[in-house]
Structure formats: C-alpha cells, structure tokens
Amino acid sequence: MSENTDIGHGFVPSGQLQLGVFFQGVNSGTVWKAPESGSQTDFESFRQLAQTAERGLFAAFFLGEGLRLREHQGRPHALDVAGRPDAQTMLAALAAVTNKIGLVATQNTTYNDPAHLAHRLASLDLISGGRAAWNVVTTDNAWTGANFRRGGYLDHADRYVHAEAFVQTAKRIWDSWEAEAISASETAATWSAPDSIRPVQHTGAHYTVDYEPRLPRTAQHRPVLFQAGDSPEGRDFAARQADVIFSAHPGLDAALIFRRDIVARTVAAGRGANEVQIMPASEFILAATPQEAREKQAWVRSLQIGPEQAIAYLEQFWGRELSGYDPDGPLPDIDPVVEETSETRGSGFHGAKARQLADQWRAEALDKGLSIRQFVSGKTSRADATFSGSYTEIADLLARYAAVGAVDGFNISPWLIPTGLDDIVNHLVPELQARGVYPTDYVGTTLREHLGLPLPQRAESSATLSHA
C-alpha cells in the first residue's frame, strides 16, 4: 500500500466500520452448484440472511434492482442465478421479521416517477420504524428500457440531470409535512395542523409533479440515500445528494484514491469532508487458517467460473459464439465482432474498443501463461473485490482500512445463499470487535443512527432545476 494516507480537506477517519449485505439476485457470482446452495427467490432465504446479518449487527440489508433478466446473445443468461422479487415488497416483509437492520432498496431514477417512488419509500420507512434507504441508480442496462413505454431513452449525462431533479423532488416530498403536522388530540379542532402540509410542484422535461404528499415524517425524517454509479457525473451527483456511496473500489489503494476524489467533490459541492460515507462492494472467502482459505477460494472460483461461464464471459466481449474454444486453452485467436451500439442502449460492450481489448487480453494471457478459465477468474468484477484469508488476517486488514479512513464499511455480496454470512458473523465480527473497529451493539433504532448520520436539513427548492 502507498504510504500517503492523507485525505485532505479536513477529513477525519472515524476509525470505525459498518457492514452491509447485498443479496444480489440476478448475477453470476452466487454459487448455485454447491450442495448448500438455497433458493434465490423463497422468502425463507431472505429472512435467514437478514436475521443472520442482524445477529452480526450489520447496518444494512441491500437489494439490487434489475428490471429485466440479464441477457447473453439475445437470450436470458442461463448460467446466472435469476429471480429478484420486487425490492420494496421484499423489504416490507423483512421489516416484520427484523428489528434494527437498515433495509435498502435499489431503485432507478430513469424509469420510475418521483412522487410514486417517494411515497413507496416513505411507506417502507414508516413500516420499518425509520430503517429504510434508497440506493439511487440511473440504470445503464441496454435491455431495461424495452420493458417500459419510454423504451431506451436518455443519454448518460442526461440520466444524471434527470436523477438530480428526481431526488430533489423526492426530498421535498419527504420534507413536506412539518414535524408537528399531526395534532390529533381530543382538544384539537382539526386532525392535522393547518398549513402544515406543503404541496410539491415540479415541471420538467420528462414529468410534471403537482402533489399533496400523503405521509408524515418518519422516525429518521426521511429514507437514507445511497448512490451507486461511478462516472464523474455519478460521483458529483453523489457528492451533492447522497449520504452513502455504494462504491466499486474495495482494494485499499483504490479505496483511498476514491475517498480523496469523493471528499474533494463533496467539499466542492459545499458539504463537509465527512458528510458522504463510502461502502464498497466486496466478497469474503474466509477460513480458520490462510491455507484453508486458499483452498476454499479455489473451490469457490471453480464453481463461479466453470468452463461454460469462462467461455460465456469472453463471448460478452467478443460479441460472438466461442463455444468451439477450449476453456483450458489459450484465448480465442479470432477477432471480436465490431458493432457500434448507441450509448443510450447502455453498458453493452462498445465495438470500437473490442479489438484493442482483445489484443491486450491475448498478450496478457500469453505473457502470464494463462488459459481462458484462469484468465477469466482474475478478470471478473469479483476478482478485485475478494477478501480471502484467515479471520485474523482479514480482521487486521480491515482494521487498517478503518484507521486510515479508506472506507466507512463494506457491502458484502455472499457467494452462497442463504448461509454465506454465517462465518463472517460467527468469526470475523468478533475479531473486528476485539480490534475496536466494529460496533458491539446497535446504537439506536433507525438506520440514520446506525450510520451516525444527522437528521437532514430541509430540502432546497428545485426551482433551478425546473428544466430537468
């Protein structure tokens, strides 16, 4: 790790970590071939994971959003786990079988409408006693738009302009009832105090809102805002609007660079250096000894990236069928299909860079003597996000993150559902507590309290964004 751990701008490391668990649903990293693998859709899997996380004093239980199955060569990706019940419905059910853990729904701003989504999230916040959060995403998946009447629309930059107006409108909806709006006493003339509920109006390019908000403030005033999206526009948006970033930079050096960047953007946006917290996506493969952990990681990887998965991974980049290639042989000598796709269609691999990347990857694999399977094992997004080692080794490493303030915690994607958190809660959490970097109890009842976030200020008027 580099020696320079200074973040600048008066940022002060809290010295503490929080944990979240990300039940991914549709994805390729959850092992479904192990004997212990359970259902991705039964409520029982969600309940078990959420209650295990709560036993481990986790701050938050996350659900992702994918409004369409992931596709591969024009068909649903048959190697992925799939399913994903509606996040808010699932979290409302989990609110009834948990007491403290935060409940985070990933929901996109591109295809939803603000008044509707704000009301549903406020409902989750009320039902859960102030434990709701919204992970704001703009959604880059090419295929999502085809579900909706609007189809694929909005360029990347416009998505964030739209997202900002959306979030500001939602905040104004959540702030629209005064704290004392409900009088409801025997002596009161009216149930709600006169003039205590403000209407919210917004006129923009994509929707017009003229709304009388229907719910009072919640125990934590309004849902906590997470954000996930890594472009400069996404980072600036988070710096202005979010409480916590669900980041894609778990390695220590990368996390420090990301922290510096976010702190600079947050301060430039007129907020305090410590105002936006960071929790990167991560995977933990742990055991009692380093040797056992190495063996376990090799086994997990063999299930995550079997021969078919390795070929399918390359097919996404090559844009063509590669089933004739040997997964234990060298990378394909054939060139990728170069196909120009519009940015509005999303994250699909953009043709212009395909040949360049294929050349680079072939050279890298040749240089390191790697087969397709070995190469892909080191390339998937999980490869950089994996913490593997003995409980004590990893606890020492995480304590270092806390000391330098690289992150505020980790959002863990279990590789096994529903028992994937058991060893973390039973063995890693006590090691972190022993090092003084992890809570020994929940400090309050709301998610805002678990994360040490202050009650929010009233939202600003969105008049300046009336074009969005």
Provide the minimum distance between the beta carbon of 114 and ligand FMN in the complex, in angstroms, as a whole number.
Answer: 17
Closest to ligand FMN by CB, 399 or 412:
412
Contact assessment for residue 305 and residue 380, using Cβ atoms and an 8 Å cutoff: yes
Residue 386 binds to ligand FMN (criterion: CB under 6 A):
no
Residue position matching structure tokens 């996390």: 255
Number of Cβ within a 10 Å radius of residue 455: 12
Q: Interface with ligand FMN by CB under 6 A: which range of 5-13, 46-54, 132-140, 336-344?
A: 132-140
Helix (H) / strand (E) containing 22: strand 18-23
Among 48, 106, 169, 386, binds ligand FMN (CB under 6 A): 106
Is residue 156 part of an annotated ligand binding site? yes
**Closer residue to ligand FMN in complex, CB, 24/176:** 24
Which pairs count as long-range contacts for 397-400, CB under 8 Å and 24+ apart, including other chains? Answer: 397/252, 398/17, 398/432, 398/437, 399/432, 399/435, 399/437, 400/1, 400/252
Q: Lay out the site mask for ligand FMN across 189-228 (x = CB under 6 A, - = otherwise).
A: ---------------------------------------x
Nearer to ligand FMN, 248 or 257 (CB): 248
**Which of these ranges, 61-69, 175-183, 333-341, 420-428, lies near ligand FMN under the rule CB under 6 A?**
61-69
Candidates 27, 30, 48, 108; binder of ligand FMN (CB under 6 A) is 108
Q: Is 282 annotated as a binding residue?
A: no
Told to check if 140 binds ligand FMN by CB under 6 A, we report yes
Q: Pick from 246, 318, 325, 401 the residue near ligand FMN by CB under 6 A.
A: 246
Query: Going by C-beta distance under 8 Å and a sequence separation of 6 or more, which residues neighbour residue 201?
Result: 209, 210, 211
CA distance 245 to 231: 13
Q: How far apart are CA 303 and CA 79, in angstroms?
A: 11
**Spatial separation of the C-alpha atoms in residues 250 and 464, rounded to whole Å:** 36
56/229 with CB nearer ligand FMN: 229
Indicate which single residue of 65, 243, 408, 431 sits in contact with ligand FMN (rule: CB under 6 A). 65
25 binds ligand FMN, rule: CB under 6 A: no
Let me know: does 59 contact 103? Beta carbons within 8 Å. no
Angle at Cα 173 formed by Cα 167 and Cα 179, nearest 5°?
130
For residue 27, state whether it binds ligand FMN (rule: CB under 6 A): no
State the first-to-last Cα distance of the chain, in angstroms, to the nearest integer.
43
| Residue located via tokens 């603000």 | 114
Rounded-to-integer distance, Cα 302 and Cα 157, Å: 39
Min CB(248)–ligand FMN separation in Å: 4
Does 81 bind ligand FMN (CB under 6 A)? Our answer is no
Binding residue (CB under 6 A) for ligand FMN from 203, 231, 419, 433: 231
Longest CA–CA span in the chain (Å) reads: 83
Of the residues 213, 223, 234, 414, which one makes contact with ligand FMN according to CB under 6 A:
234
137 is a contact residue toward ligand FMN (CB under 6 A): yes
**Residues 430, 467: Cα–Cα separation, whole Å:** 51
Residue 281 touches ligand FMN, criterion: CB under 6 A = yes
Positions touching ligand FMN (CB under 6 A) are 64-66, 106, 108, 137-140, 228-231, 233-234, 246, 248, 281
The annotated binding site for FMN is made up of 106, 156, 160, 231
